Amino acid sequence: MSRPGTKGVPREQREQQILEIATTEFGGRGYAYTSLTDIATAAGVSKPLIYTYFGSRDGLHAACVQRAGKSLVDAVASAQTVSGADKALATLTAIFRALDGQTENWKLIYDTTLPRPSEAYALAREYQDALNTMGAEGVAEVLAGSDDADDHSLLLALWFSIVSTTIAWWSENPTQTPQQMTERCLRLFTAVRQPA
Amino acid sequence: MSRPGTKGVPREQREQQILEIATTEFGGRGYAYTSLTDIATAAGVSKPLIYTYFGSRDGLHAACVQRAGKSLVDAVASAQTVSGADKALATLTAIFRALDGQTENWKLIYDTTLPRPSEAYALAREYQDALNTMGAEGVAEVLAGSDDADDHSLLLALWFSIVSTTIAWWSENPTQTPQQMTERCLRLFTAVRQPA
DNA sequence: CGGAGAATTGACTCTACGGTAAATTACCGC
DNA sequence: GCGGTAATTTACCGTAGAGTCAATTCTCCG
Which among A86, A184, A195 is the nearest to B196, CB-wise?
A86
Please indicate whether, in this complex, the C-beta atoms of B150 and A184 are within 8 angstroms of each other.
yes
- Identify whether B3 is part of a domain: no
Chain B, nearest residue to A115 by Cα:
B33
Cα of A5 to nearest chain B Cα, Å: 37
Per-position DSSP letters for B66-97, written without gaps between them? HHHHHHHHHHHHHH----SS-HHHHHHHHHHH
Mean pLDDT on B61-74: 96
pLDDT, one tens digit for every residue, chain A (196 residues): 588 999 999 999 999 999 999 999 999 999 999 999 999 999 999 999 999 999 999 999 999 999 999 999 999 888 877 665 667 777 788 888 888 889 899 999 999 999 999 999 999 999 998 988 887 777 788 888 888 999 999 998 999 899 889 988 998 888 999 999 999 999 998 888 876 5
Ramachandran sector of residue B82 (left: φ over 0; alpha: ψ -120 to 50; beta: rest): beta
- Identify whether B27 is part of a domain: yes
Instruction: Please state, in angstroms and rounded to a whole number, the distance separating the CA atoms of residues B26 and B43.
Output: 13
Q: Please check whether strand C approaches the CB of B113 to within 7 Å.
A: no
For chain A, the domain total comes to: 1
- Identify whether A2 is part of a domain: no
C-beta of residue B103 within 8 angstroms of C-beta of residue B166? no
Instruction: Please state, in angstroms and rounded to a whole number, the distance separating the CA atoms of residues A44 and B126.
Output: 38
- Identify whether B94 is part of a domain: yes
SS3 assignment, position A176: coil
Q: Which amino acid is at A30?
A: G
Digit-coded pLDDT (tens) for B25-36 = 999 999 999 999
**Where does residue A37 rank: exposed (0-12), middle (13-18), buried (19+ CB within 10 A)?**
exposed
C-beta of residue B134 within 8 angstroms of C-beta of residue B115? no
Instruction: Please state, in angstroms and rounded to a whole number, the distance separating the CA atoms of residues B196 and B178.
Output: 28
Closest CA to A166 of A153, A183, A180, A185: A185
Q: Reply yes or no: is the peptide bond before residue A117 cis, omega within 30 of 0.
A: yes
Closest CA to A153 of B181, B143, B82: B181
**Where does residue A100 rank: exposed (0-12), middle (13-18), buried (19+ CB within 10 A)?**
middle
Nucleotides of D under 7 A from a protein CB: 6-11, 16-28
- Identify whether A169 is part of a domain: yes
- Identify whether A61 is part of a domain: yes
C-beta of residue B158 within 8 angstroms of C-beta of residue A162? yes
- Identify whether A5 is part of a domain: no
C-beta of residue B38 within 8 angstroms of C-beta of residue B25? yes
Q: What is the pLDDT of residue B150?
A: 94
Mutation to test the B interface, candidates A87, A156, A165, A173, most B Cβ within 10 Å: A165
Q: Domain range spanning residue A175? A: 11-193
Please indicate whether, in this complex, the C-beta atoms of B166 and A187 are within 8 angstroms of each other.
no
Question: In this structure, what CATH number is given to the domain that contains residue A108?
Answer: 1.10.357.10
- Identify whether B178 is part of a domain: yes
